[in-house]
Chain A
Amino acid sequence: MKKVLSLVLALALVLGCMSIAGAEAPKTKLVVWSFTNELQGMIEKYYAPNHPEIEFEFQIYPTDGSAYETKVDNTLGVPDAAVSEEAPDIFTLEAAFVKHYVESDFTGNLKDIGFTDDELAVAFPVMAQIGQNSNGIQKGLSWQSTPGVLMYRASLAEKYLGVKSPEEMQEKVKDWDTFLETAEELKTASEGACKMVCGSGDIWNAYQYQRSQGWVVDGKLNIDDELLDFEELCKTLEQDDLTQKAGAWGETWFAGMRGEIETLCYFLPTWGLHYTLKPNCVAGWDAENPDSEENIKNATENGTYGDWRLTDGPVAYSWGGTWMGINAAKAATADDTKKAAMHDLIKFFTLDDDFLTQYAADSGDFVGSAKAVETILANGGTPNPFLGGQDHYAIFAKAAALANGSLMSEYDSTINDLWDKFVTTPYTKGEVESVDDAIAEFKNQVKSVITTIDVD
């Protein structure tokens, strides 16, 4: 028995050596860094099987705190480390910090590895714009696109507003003035029981895309006039008792999704529909078997499954997303084979029509290429039972085409946070005399934490 085993082992060893010796060309090695295993899963499923000539090495650092950013900065910020074996060739970037990296020298120009203007043209403008630096150089591309729309409960809209279709609802929320009028109408009709929206934070995600300029213009803090209108809108909503007066991601927010309290509208993007609204439409949603008959029956009878509809809302916006970028230092020293491999990989995941169509069908994700979205719509779209049979792809496609991605700056997450904390919250709750007082404190706060931009 032992002899047989040793013979088998020896044979395996010889065969193993032979197969290594037999490989014709050395494999091209690509190091991919990410903060979730999403991209790794996609590469292993859709790409690696057809590309045996490429050897992949994956590193995953979660975004908790700023672990991922720290790791990237410590590697790409040190010249020797940036070109080392372990350093990434390709790394992913999320919405919170994508701007920071495309503005830095860490990420390389995608055209340097062979992308052409024609190829880049099929990406949704909003996602492409966010992946560009301020000089318009394309440094990041996304396989998904995260347009946002207005999601509302059809039963409440019909009961209080007499609205029977998403088109009629759109008339009621076509701009922010109408939105406010509808909120007042809703209050009267429901005697205050039903609120238009959970709180001003919900509106912010959409409203910030109403601006004509972003937070930083020519290295200076810029407060767009639209933001003052936003403050007045939120103050009226708050003072007239038209919202639930609560923040997103809290108990009140989720209670409205489950229908325990009546909140008519939510501003959510693509992922918000699948990963936030749907699993929270009923208490005791079965995350293990979401499509089981029992679960859907429970969600329909005791929750709000099937009651939601989508409509464009007052403004097209985008919220979230993941981009793929390349390590500039390593790309500069890569040979043509490697550059071609990087080009092919990024192109496959972000722009390839066949792959994205397939991926959308498999995952339900909203993809980043306008052309692939057209194909999906031409093939009959995606009727969604959660939305009472409404096709979410058609509505998202409209928002994705319209949203303005040029507004985003690398300091957005910090400045948005400060604006909410020092202007919107105190002003709408009537804690400060005037909006100007609040803005003065806001400017101080920005000046204190961001020393690289000018603040008057």
Chain B
Amino acid sequence: MQAQPAVKKKVKSVSYSHWGYIFIAPFFITFLIFGLYPILFTFKTSVTDAVGWEKILNNNIIGFENFAQIFTSGTLANEKFWGALGNTIIIWFFNFVPQLGLALILASWFTDSRLRLRGQGFYKTTIFMPNIITAATIGMLFFSLFAYPIGPVNTFLQTSGIANMPVEYFRSTEWSRGLISFIQWWMWCGNTMIIMIAGISGINPSLFEAALVDGCSSRQTFWKITLPLIKPILVYNLTTSLVGGLTMFDIPHMMTQGGPNDTTNTVARFIYTQGFTGSRNFNMASAASVVLFVIIIVGSLIIRYVLNDHEPKPAKLAKKGAIK
């Protein structure tokens, strides 16, 4: 009988908190092996002379020479890396601006309580659809569509009398870049739109009602209520798009192989050609990856800084209050 309180005490002290750790362990174990370790390995490889598979484990540390090549003007690595970054930013810009614009318009239409659009489910699904298909497949699809001299687009334009000669789309810088931007835009617009809708739906409806009562126009509601309140979502979207855009690889690789004359060669393709073709310059590929990593971090921080509300400090508020 005396033992009972002791048992009770023990039972009381059973903690379930370790289950929490066990449940989240698979992610962390997987991340450590397949996420963190490769990142650290890349950092290490970037300061070595690892050229070729034979030297991937068995190499010498040579310091920051690879980085020096990327940052010294006049070297090939410098020219190709920054050229590729320029291409990437151009392609990303023409993909992102229309994507965000259209996604915002669609999202505000779909959530507008005054419009009450019918068949929303159908439109949302249709717009989201391209996102389900693998990018590589879409790359191949567009490559076939715009094939020269015989391809669906060329054949259509000629038989319908719009063009009298087939156009070699993938030998034109503008067409190649434009098509890649278009594909990225077309694929990701639905995704952005869904996130925007979620963001707008999260806004307290009483704010919209109040605006309605006060006689706000749709435009005023959008600019004065919707937009400021979904700013965190915009920051999220811009950041993920920046990460995705700067590491763009599959569409240019499948469709143009970086051509014509390297004008659609993105940074990720530069890294790929360094690491996986020719003499397999893993050191240069790793160094370029590290530079890209830093560029993305800086870019994300800038987006956060520019878009975040710089709320007045409490001291300032107090002052304002005092003036009042």
List chain A positions with a Cβ less than 8 A from chain B.
66, 69, 73, 77-78, 104-105, 244-246, 250-252, 255, 261, 411, 413-414, 417, 421-422, 425-426, 429, 431, 441, 444, 446-453
Shortest C-beta distance, A424 to chain B (Å), equals: 12
15 A-B contacts (beta carbon < 8 Å): A78-B57, A245-B149, A246-B147, A411-B279, A413-B277, A417-B277, A421-B257, A426-B261, A431-B261, A441-B261, A446-B278, A449-B279, A451-B278, A452-B52, A453-B279
A78 surroundings in chain B (CB, below 8 A) = 57
Complex alpha-carbon distance, A261 and B149, angstroms: 12
Pair B56/A251 contact, Cβ less than 8 Å = no
Shortest C-beta distance, A5 to chain B (Å), equals: 42
Pair A447/B147 contact, Cβ less than 8 Å = no
Q: Which of B28-58 contact A (CB under 8 A)?
A: 51-54, 56-58
A444 surroundings in chain B (CB, below 8 A) = 76
Nearest residue, chain A, Cβ from B77: A448
Complex alpha-carbon distance, A250 and B77, angstroms: 33
The listed residue (A69, A104, A105, A449) touching B278 by CB distance below 8 A is A449
Pair A451/B51 contact, Cβ less than 8 Å = yes
How many Cβ-Cβ contacts under 8 Å join chain A to chain B?
Answer: 75
Pair B171/A73 contact, Cβ less than 8 Å = no
Q: What are the nearest 4 A-B pairs in CB distance?
A: A449-B278, A73-B53, A450-B278, A452-B279
Nearest residue, chain A, Cβ from B166: A245
Given contacts A245-B149, A250-B147, A251-B151, contact A77 B278 (CB under 8 A): no
Shortest C-beta distance, B233 to chain A (Å), equals: 36
Judge whether B201 is part of the interface by a CB distance below 8 angstroms.
Answer: no
Given contacts A77-B56, A444-B76, contact A255 B150 (CB under 8 A): yes
List chain B positions with a Cβ less than 8 A from chain A.
51-54, 56-58, 76-77, 80, 144, 147-151, 168, 171, 257, 259-261, 273-274, 276-279, 281, 284
The listed residue (B54, B77, B281) touching A104 by CB distance below 8 A is B54
Shortest C-beta distance, B275 to chain A (Å), equals: 10
7 A-B pairs besides A451-B279, A451-B284 with CB distance below 8 A are A73-B53, A246-B147, A251-B147, A252-B149, A252-B150, A255-B150, A449-B277
Give the most central of B52, B168, B257, B277: most A CB within 10 Å. Answer: B277
Complex alpha-carbon distance, A188 and B253, angstroms: 40
Nearest residue, chain B, Cβ from A453: B279
Give the most central of A246, A411, A444: most B CB within 10 Å. Answer: A246
Shortest C-beta distance, A445 to chain B (Å), equals: 8
Nearest residue, chain A, Cβ from B58: A77
Give the most central of B58, B257, B261: most A CB within 10 Å. Answer: B261
Nearest residue, chain B, Cβ from A255: B150
B273 surroundings in chain A (CB, below 8 A) = 448-449
B279 surroundings in chain A (CB, below 8 A) = 411, 449-453
A245 surroundings in chain B (CB, below 8 A) = 148-149
B80 surroundings in chain A (CB, below 8 A) = 448
Give the most central of B77, B150, B260: most A CB within 10 Å. Answer: B150
A441 surroundings in chain B (CB, below 8 A) = 261
Complex alpha-carbon distance, A417 and B274, angstroms: 14
Pair A422/B261 contact, Cβ less than 8 Å = yes
B276 surroundings in chain A (CB, below 8 A) = 66
Complex alpha-carbon distance, A66 and B273, angstroms: 13
Nearest residue, chain B, Cβ from A66: B276
Complex alpha-carbon distance, A251 and B152, angstroms: 10
Pair B274/A449 contact, Cβ less than 8 Å = yes
Given contacts A245-B149, A449-B274, A451-B279, contact A251 B261 (CB under 8 A): no
Nearest residue, chain A, Cβ from B151: A251
Shortest C-beta distance, B304 to chain A (Å), equals: 35
A261 surroundings in chain B (CB, below 8 A) = 150
Shortest C-beta distance, B254 to chain A (Å), equals: 13
B284 surroundings in chain A (CB, below 8 A) = 451
Complex alpha-carbon distance, A250 and B149, angstroms: 10
Pair B76/A447 contact, Cβ less than 8 Å = yes
Given contacts A246-B148, A251-B144, A448-B80, contact A411 B54 (CB under 8 A): no
Shortest C-beta distance, B37 to chain A (Å), equals: 15
Shortest C-beta distance, B301 to chain A (Å), equals: 31
A246 surroundings in chain B (CB, below 8 A) = 147-150
Give the most central of A245, A429, A449: most B CB within 10 Å. Answer: A449
Complex alpha-carbon distance, A23 and B257, angstroms: 57
Shortest C-beta distance, A263 to chain B (Å), equals: 11
Complex alpha-carbon distance, A196 and B56, angstroms: 47
Pair B144/A448 contact, Cβ less than 8 Å = no
Shortest C-beta distance, B34 to chain A (Å), equals: 15
Pair B76/A448 contact, Cβ less than 8 Å = yes
Nearest residue, chain B, Cβ from A410: B279
Shortest C-beta distance, B62 to chain A (Å), equals: 13
Complex alpha-carbon distance, A255 and B148, angstroms: 13
Nearest residue, chain A, Cβ from B281: A451
Pair A414/B278 contact, Cβ less than 8 Å = yes
Complex alpha-carbon distance, A252 and B56, angstroms: 42
Shortest C-beta distance, A37 to chain B (Å), equals: 25
Give the most central of B76, B273, B278: most A CB within 10 Å. Answer: B278
Complex alpha-carbon distance, A426 and B259, angstroms: 11
Nearest residue, chain B, Cβ from A441: B261
B277 surroundings in chain A (CB, below 8 A) = 413-414, 417, 449
Pair A449/B53 contact, Cβ less than 8 Å = no
B281 surroundings in chain A (CB, below 8 A) = 449, 451
Shortest C-beta distance, B141 to chain A (Å), equals: 13
Give the most central of A66, A250, A441, A451: most B CB within 10 Å. Answer: A451
Nearest residue, chain A, Cβ from B258: A421
Shortest C-beta distance, A283 to chain B (Å), equals: 14
Shortest C-beta distance, B22 to chain A (Å), equals: 32
Shortest C-beta distance, A249 to chain B (Å), equals: 11
Nearest residue, chain B, Cβ from A438: B261
